[in-house]
């Protein structure tokens, strides 16, 4: 069907300018291709990326902008070449919807690092030249390679945050062999990413210590998330008591913070992984060199690892802590997210509230 004759049959919420205020918006999705899947969206997680691009913080936002890259839903139609998924299957879509599928990274199932550039789920240019629009919408059309099978009986609302928050911490934990029972893990920051790092750490059999600037998070860290220890990072006595005691650290904090005090908590040859996004990183080279330590970074993950994570969460009954909201509350939710006022991930009930 010619695009000019298509009707605007996709309902969503979009930002029209850098105020970031979202409101109802109708638009047209691209036609279903032979390798595509059309997904009825039931839920979409709310990520800080939605704030960043809705408000043009990076400076490259393309309006009208429909955010959302933690998508869960049901297959409603498949292209003629699609074999592994069928109508009615529960599926997810994460932070990207295309890549070159030919470079070394794509061939190694690391499409997120595609040499020619991945195509982001929203605010990017799709294969048909249109701007990609995300999961704050009624349905989406995606190449089958970038769709993930959500295990049966795993709640779709819980699956959504795994597609960004979950895979962002799961990928480096697997890459650095953190799935070793008895080892020790420190988690800096207890938000959407941090609470998933705690859950994965406990499932791996690690001794998990949570570091936070606020004593207010102690009860939930120890009792809800079942961390083994909780440390207020400004308490020098507590910090000194953990010197050279940790095998791994996952740093999820995006606010600027010192690195040396945390690096000194690693054992010899310990690994420090940064998944947050502070404006700068400063540390003494001696902290790395004298301890033979490793400082690494990571962002989301490839398709193979994402599917493995979904299967792992289902098998081990790992569920994000979520607050389900109607789409009409999304502007308030984004404001609360900016203030850190969420435990621990907002998830939009698209199916029942987007009309």
Look up the pTM and report it.
0.93
- pLDDT at 3 > cutoff 60: no
Distance CA 221, CA 343 (A): 11
- pLDDT at 4 > cutoff 50: no
What is residue 6's predicted lDDT score, i.e. its pLDDT? 56
Closest alpha carbon to 133 in 314, 12, 305: 12
The count of residues in the chain is 355
Mean local confidence (pLDDT), 130-158: 97
Q: Give whole-number Cα distances, 124 to 96, 120, 128, 227, in Å.
A: 9, 6, 11, 38
Give me the chain's average pLDDT, please.
Answer: 94
Q: Could you read off the pLDDT of 216-241 as tens digits, one per residue?
A: 999 999 999 999 999 999 899 999 99
Q: Could you read off the pLDDT of 289-319 as tens digits, one per residue?
A: 988 999 999 989 999 999 999 999 999 999 9
pLDDT category at 132 given cuts 50, 70, 90 is very high
Q: Could you read off the pLDDT of 162-184 as tens digits, one per residue?
A: 999 999 999 999 999 999 999 99
What is residue 7's predicted lDDT score, i.e. its pLDDT? 58
* b/e 287-325 (16+ beta carbons within 10 angstroms → b): bbeebebebeebebbbbebbbbbbebbbeeebbbbbebb
pLDDT category at 254 given cuts 50, 70, 90 is confident
Distance CA 171, CA 109 (A): 12
- pLDDT at 355 > cutoff 90: no
What is residue 145's predicted lDDT score, i.e. its pLDDT? 97
Distance CA 156, CA 99 (A): 25
- pLDDT at 1 > cutoff 60: no
- pLDDT at 5 > cutoff 80: no
176: left (phi over 0), alpha (psi -120 to 50) or beta: alpha
292: left (phi over 0), alpha (psi -120 to 50) or beta: left
The count of other CB atoms within 10 Å of the CB of residue 204 is 20
Strand partners, 72: 43, 92
> Which stretches of the chain are assigned E, i.e. beta strand?
10-15, 22-27, 36-45, 71-78, 90-93, 96-98, 119-120, 139-143, 147-149, 184-188, 207-212, 229-232, 246-251, 266-274, 294-297, 322-325, 345-349
Tell me the percentage of the chain whose pLDDT exceeds 90: 90
Distance CA 297, CA 311 (A): 24
Q: Could you read off the pLDDT of 21-74 as tens digits, one per residue?
A: 999 999 999 999 999 999 999 999 999 999 999 999 999 999 999 999 999 999
């Amino acid at each position: 069907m010619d695009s000019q004759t298509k009707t605007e049959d996709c309902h969503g919420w979009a930002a029209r300018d850098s105020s970031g205020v979202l409101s109802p918006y109708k638009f047209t999705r691209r036609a279903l291709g032979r390798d595509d899947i059309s997904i009825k969206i039931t839920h979409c997680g709310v990520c800080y990326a939605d704030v960043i691009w809705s408000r043009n913080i990076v400076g490259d936002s393309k309006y009208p902008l429909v955010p959302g890259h933690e998508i869960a839903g049901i297959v409603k139609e498949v292209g003629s070449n699609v074999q592994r998924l069928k109508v009615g299957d529960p599926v997810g879509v994460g932070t990207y919807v295309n890549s070159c599928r030919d470079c070394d990274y794509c061939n190694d199932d690391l499409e997120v690092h595609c040499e020619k550039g991945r195509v982001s789920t929203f605010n990017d240019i799709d294969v048909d030249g249109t701007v990609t629009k995300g999961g704050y919408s009624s349905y989406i059309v995606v190449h089958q390679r970038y769709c993930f099978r959500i295990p049966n009986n795993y709640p779709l609302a819980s699956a959504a945050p795994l597609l960004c928050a979950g895979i962002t911490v799961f990928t480096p934990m697997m890459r650095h062999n953190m799935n070793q029972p008895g080892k020790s893990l420190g988690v800096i920051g207890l938000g959407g990413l941090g609470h998933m790092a705690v859950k994965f750490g406990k499932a791996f059999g690690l001794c998990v210590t949570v570091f936070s600037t606020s004593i207010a998070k102690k009860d939930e860290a120890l009792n809800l998330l079942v961390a083994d220890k909780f440390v207020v990072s400004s308490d020098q006595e507590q910090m000194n008591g953990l010197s050279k005691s940790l095998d791994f650290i996952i740093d999820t904090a995006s606010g600027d913070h010192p690195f040396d005090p945390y690096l000194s908590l690693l054992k010899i040859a310990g690994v420090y992984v940064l998944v947050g996004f502070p404006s700068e990183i400063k540390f003494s080279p001696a902290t790395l060199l004298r301890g033979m330590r490793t400082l690494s970074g990571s962002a989301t993950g490839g398709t193979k690892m994402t599917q493995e994570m979904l299967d792992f969460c289902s098998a081990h009954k790992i569920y994000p802590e979520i607050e389900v909201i109607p789409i009409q509350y999304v502007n308030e939710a984004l404001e609360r997210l900016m203030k850190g006022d969420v435990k621990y991930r907002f998830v939009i009930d698209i199916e029942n509230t987007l009309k």
